[in-house]
């Protein structure tokens, strides 16, 4: 194979160019855009957000089923359903369902409160995902226990960060 | 006034578990998007949604910017008595919308 004569735009060249621009103070609009992006929620901030809800209680796996597509084309609208195994009686019911994510600008997605008269602990909504990441649903039961389920989602077109 | 779509069965048997679906027209501007000058679009979202069945709260949601535009929720409740189900949305910049549906329970 003949090596190309003209320099090809590679990731390495782009990064070198960006570094030069930063060093010399010449910021292209594109580079500015990269620097003004908000910091994404990291797994750490998700842990913190979960701790704010769960507190010192033990978070257990199971009983919750998070239904979300494993591969989504557009992160702008991702359908999500959470159902919890519960008899939904006055003495044993789901009090709240929380959804968290790792890599959106904020770790919280939605918090929902329900009660024994819901009859069935199933809710659904539509969310945004800024990147391929893990989504976690947590159910708070009336006996004070917390149960969770997580799903890995691959996003081809991320939400939130597009410009107009 | 934002357009809201609400789906509640008009009739139900006493004790039936019914599904309620709600959809409301709203941009849900996340506050994280920037225009091509790097200026951030200010946040403008619905932050709270409450559903009440004859005055009793049956479902409440706290919304964050990660909820997609035109927030959609489905949930269940037990049909206990005939009456009115009220849906209330509120959010940034004084946003407020209300919708109601009557249900007959035999």
A33 contacts chain B (CB < 8 A): yes
> What is the structure's pLDDT at A94?
94
> What is the structure's pLDDT at B102?
94
B82 contacts chain A (CB < 8 A): no
Q: Out of A111, A119, A124, whose CB is closest to B62?
A: A111
**Residues ≥6 apart with Cβ < 8 Å to B77:** A117, A118, A119, B17, B18, B20, B51, B53, B58, B59
Residue A23 pLDDT more than 60? no
CA distance A8 to chain B (A): 26
Residues from chain A contacting residue B30 (CB–CB below 8 Å)? 105, 128, 160
Residue B84 pLDDT more than 80? yes
Residues from chain B contacting residue A29 (CB–CB below 8 Å)? 36-38
ipTM field: 0.90
Q: What superfamily in CATH does domain B4-28+43-105 come from?
A: Immunoglobulins (2.60.40.10)
Q: Out of A77, A109, A163, whose CB is closest to B36?
A: A163
Phi, psi of A18, deg, nearest 5: -65, -40
Residue A9 pLDDT more than 50? yes
**Residue among A40, A146, A72 nearest B66 (CA):** A40
CA distance B11 to chain A (A): 17
pTM: 0.80
CB B61 within 8 A of CB B48: yes
A32 contacts chain B (CB < 8 A): yes
| Bridge partners, B50 (sequence order) | B60, B88
CB B59 within 8 A of CB A114: yes
Q: How far apart are CA A25 and CA B79, in angstroms?
A: 66
Contact between A108 and B67 using a beta-carbon 8 Å cutoff: no
Q: How far apart are CA B53 and CA B57, in angstroms?
A: 6
> What is the structure's pLDDT at A10?
65
Break chain B into its structural domains and give their ranges. 4-28+43-105
Band (pLDDT 50/70/90 cuts) for residue A39 is: low
Tokens found for residue A74: 């557009």
> What is the structure's pLDDT at A33?
47
Residues from chain A contacting residue B38 (CB–CB below 8 Å)? 29, 32-33, 36
Band (pLDDT 50/70/90 cuts) for residue A15 is: low
| Mean of pLDDT values over A59-65 | 91
Residue B45 pLDDT more than 60? yes
**Residues ≥6 apart with Cβ < 8 Å to B72:** A124, A125, A126, B21, B22, B23
| Mean of pLDDT values over A127-136 | 92
CB A136 within 8 A of CB A148: yes
Residue A77 pLDDT more than 90? yes
Helix intervals (H) in chain A: 11-24, 29-36, 43-54
**Residue among A95, A74, A79, A77 nearest A155 (CA):** A74
Q: Out of A106, A117, A163, whose CB is closest to B66?
A: A106
């Amino acid at each position: 194979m003949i090596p190309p004569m003209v320099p090809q735009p590679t990731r390495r060249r782009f990064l070198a160019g960006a570094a030069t621009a930063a060093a010399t103070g010449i910021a292209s609009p594109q580079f500015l855009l990269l620097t003004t992006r908000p910091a994404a929620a990291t797994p750490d901030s998700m842990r913190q957000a979960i701790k704010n809800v769960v507190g010192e209680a033990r978070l257990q796996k199971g009983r919750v089923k998070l239904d979300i597509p494993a591969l989504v084309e557009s992160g702008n609208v991702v359908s999500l359903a959470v159902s919890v195994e519960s008899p939904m009686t006055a003495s044993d019911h789901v009090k709240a369902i929380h959804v968290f994510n790792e890599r959106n600008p904020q770790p919280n997605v939605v918090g929902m409160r329900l009660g024994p008269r819901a009859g069935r602990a199933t809710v659904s909504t539509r969310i945004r995902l800024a990147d391929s990441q893990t989504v976690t649903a947590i159910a708070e039961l009336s006996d004070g226990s917390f149960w969770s389920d997580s799903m890995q989602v691959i996003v081809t077109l991320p939400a939130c960060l597009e410009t107009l | 006034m934002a357009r809201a779509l609400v789906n509640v069965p008009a009739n139900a048997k006493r004790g039936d578990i019914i599904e309620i679906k709600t959809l409301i027209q709203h941009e849900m501007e996340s506050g994280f998007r920037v225009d091509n000058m790097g200026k951030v679009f200010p946040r403008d979202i619905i932050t709270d949604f409450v559903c009440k069945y004859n005055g009793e709260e049956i479902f409440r949601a706290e919304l964050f910017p990660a909820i997609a535009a035109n927030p959609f929720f489905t949930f269940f409740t037990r049909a206990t008595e005939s009456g009115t189900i009220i849906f209330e949305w509120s959010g940034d910049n004084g946003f407020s919308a209300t919708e109601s549906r009557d249900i007959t329970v035999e």
